[in-house]
Structure 1
Amino acid sequence: MVRFPGIQVAIITPFDSSGEVDYARLAEHTDWLIENGVHGLVSPGSCGEYATLTDEERRRVVETVIEASDGRVPVTAGVMAPSTAKTVAWTEHAKQAGAEAVMALPPINYNPTRREVLAYYQAISDVGLPIAAYNNPHDTATDLTPEFLAELSGIENFVAVKDFSGDVRRITRIREVCDLEVIVGVDDLALEGFLAGATGCIAGFANALPRETVELYNLVQAGEIEKAWELYRKLLPLFRYDSTPLLVQAIKYTMELVGRPAGETRPPRLFLSEEDQRAVKRAFEYFATTRTTG
């Protein structure tokens, strides 16, 4: 059973002009993404600015996305938190709210031992929802290597990994040593990841370009690799922002460019400088122009 197929959107959290969560826009955005063919939603993750949300906001964000999705696509809840107790509490909330699965980084506030990481994921598993681990060795102290993942795969509900290592060789190696689903964790490795055997991609720029991102996946599934490459080449200047510290700001600005503004980001993320806005706009215009003429 493939639990994380295709394009799983790491859905943004929209804010209004006063910096408050805009729940109505979040519900509308959820509906729009589903209408444009995405296969699942992940909320709140890094793109959803989970670390800046209050507990009440975070609860309402998860509940809003689940309610708006209305069972049409699966929703995976991000449950990252500084302690095991809080992560488990968010997992319990996700289960009560109707999420299909959870996504969890390893412990995030220090460098844990392997034994501690195993115990942490076991505690999440005990809640009873499928787990997609989030491997991001660039921003956390723990690298979930293929061999470590093989050990973690012995945990009952540990079923998948979102790999943000940036090394496509990880995908084939993970598939060699265990039966976990591998989900591409960064937009600018999507095509390579699908070809290496990833079941899907937790995608950021799909917030602004859902139909095109789904088309990329569908072309690969249909074996139309040359067409997939042509589309991917046009998207890459934008997609490359997904593996930079400016990913959320660049995604939200691109949403503004396509006529779907979602507000600015919350500090400590500052919105794009004028120079960065020009660069993102050039990348978007390159896509829009080549898409029309190509």
Structure 2
Amino acid sequence: MTTENSGQFRGIYGIPATPFNEDESLDIRSLESVLEFSVENGCHGIVMPVMASEFQSLTDTERKTIFDFTTKIVNGRVPTVAGISGISNVHSIELGKYAEGAGFDSIITMPPANISKSSAAEVLTFFEQISNAVNIPIWIQNHDRGTPLSASQLAELCENIENVSYVKEETTFAGQLTSDLLGQAGDSVKGVMGGMGCKFLVSEFNRGMCGNMPASHFGDIHSKMWNLLEYGDEAGAREIQTRMAPLNNYESLYGMRAFKEILYRRGVITSPTTRSPGKRNLDKYDLAEYDTLLASIDDLLVWKAS
């Protein structure tokens, strides 16, 4: 389900969490484990490191280490997308060049938003510079936390910049914006994927999106939903989407801490630690609720720790 005959990136492109030891140092052994898990559990592609990977907490040395381990572990089994969002044009360009050299199939980035958001002219210049620096496809990550772009702005970038051809759309009304974008841009946009943890996957598929980029802790469930949609079983996919709603609610509250709790419980990583600042903890009531919620979807979990 990864590609069509056209070579389109397609399916569930899972985002592995970046695992840390309890002292918040990078846990290399768990990094290898979560990458292997994300491929084995059915994800059609791997995206690393981006927001669900706590990319903003990583040093550049750590990001490059993650690039190297990602391509080494994935080893061409599924397409790879490198997260290169940075604090300046030069920063993202450096990361993009490194990722391409490490063997990534494409890169994804938000426009730089350091102290202030980028202007329209700055966004255009940024993507022109990135395109001139690499020879692989570029995804625009359109997110409210960065510099959100309209459908017409996205269409213009994809039409006029050679390597810019994919969008991850996750602004507030992502579905409507995607429909507008696909209507305006035609073939210049090779594909649009959603975010938000596959909460709206059925609707996204019906709007013509080519996939979704969720955190990979439920990659087996999300890939099953996508495969059902590709096979024409919307009712089956919708049933799973409905069953996942209570867990999605907790993810909306706790973010990366929730993703890591699941990975920890599934035996993938050795600690659910997230990095400071902004650490969120789960109390005994949250943990008890997770016991109940995970039990309710146990039959959907294909990957089991050996």
Residue of structure 2 in register with 1:217 after alignment: 226
Rounded Cα–Cα distance in structure 1 between residues aligned with 2:80 and 2:234:
29
Residue of structure 2 in register with 1:194 after alignment: 205
User: How far apart are 1:50 and its partner, in Å?
Assistant: 1.0
Residue of structure 2 in register with 1:112 after alignment: 118
Contact 1:4 1:183 in 2 (8 A): no
User: How far apart are 1:245 and its partner, in Å?
Assistant: 6.0
1:70 aligns with 2:80: no
Residue of structure 2 in register with 1:21 after alignment: 26
**Counterpart residue identity of residue 171, structure 1:** T
Contact 2:33 2:268 in 1 (8 A): no
- Seen in structure 2, the aligned counterparts of structure 1 residues 3 and 245 have a Cα distance that, compared at 3 Å, is farther
Number of aligned residues: 287
User: How far apart are 1:278 and its partner, in Å?
Assistant: 4.2
Structure 1 unmatched runs, 5+: none
Structure 2 unmatched runs, 5+: 1-5
**Counterpart residue identity of residue 157, structure 2:** L
Which of residues 79, 88, 92 in structure 1 aligns to 2:93?
Answer: 88
User: How far apart are 1:269 and its partner, in Å?
Assistant: 2.9
TM-score by length of 2: 0.88
Residue of structure 1 in register with 2:241 after alignment: 232
User: How far apart are 1:151 and its partner, in Å?
Assistant: 0.9
Rounded Cα–Cα distance in structure 1 between residues aligned with 2:137 and 2:248:
28
Rounded Cα–Cα distance in structure 2 between residues aligned with 1:276 and 1:114:
43
Which of residues 112, 133, 137 in structure 1 aligns to 2:140?
Answer: 133
Contact 2:71 2:102 in 1 (8 A): yes
Rounded Cα–Cα distance in structure 2 between residues aligned with 1:265 and 1:37:
25
> Which digits, 9 at most, give the CA deviation of each residue in 1:127-170, with x for residues without a partner?
22211111111x22x22111111111121011111011142112
User: How far apart are 1:291 and its partner, in Å?
Assistant: 8.3
Rounded Cα–Cα distance in structure 1 between residues aligned with 2:165 and 2:270:
32
Question: Which runs of structure 2 are paired with 1:1-294 in the superposition (5 Å)?
Answer: 1-109=6-114, 110-127=116-133, 128-137=135-144, 139-140=145-146, 142-153=147-158, 154-167=160-173, 168-178=175-185, 179=187, 180=189, 181-187=191-197, 188-204=199-215, 207-242=216-251, 244=252, 246-263=254-271, 264-274=273-283, 275-288=285-298
**Counterpart residue identity of residue 33, structure 2:** E
Rounded Cα–Cα distance in structure 2 between residues aligned with 1:104 and 1:290:
32
- Seen in structure 2, the aligned counterparts of structure 1 residues 228 and 258 have a Cα distance that, compared at 3 Å, is same
> Which digits, 9 at most, give the CA deviation of each residue in 1:58-96, with x for residues without a partner?
110111011001111111110011000000000000111
Contact 1:250 1:280 in 2 (8 A): no
Moved over 3 A (4+): 275-283, 288-292
**Counterpart residue identity of residue 194, structure 1:** F
User: How far apart are 1:277 and its partner, in Å?
Assistant: 3.8
- Seen in structure 2, the aligned counterparts of structure 1 residues 289 and 212 have a Cα distance that, compared at 3 Å, is closer
User: Identity across aligned pairs (percent)?
Assistant: 26
TM-score by length of 1: 0.91
Rounded Cα–Cα distance in structure 1 between residues aligned with 2:246 and 2:11:
21
> Which digits, 9 at most, give the CA deviation of each residue in 1:245-293, with x for residues without a partner?
621111111222323335210011313231444444443333337989x
Contact 2:139 2:168 in 1 (8 A): yes
Rounded Cα–Cα distance in structure 1 between residues aligned with 2:208 and 2:224:
17
Rounded Cα–Cα distance in structure 1 between residues aligned with 2:300 and 2:213:
25
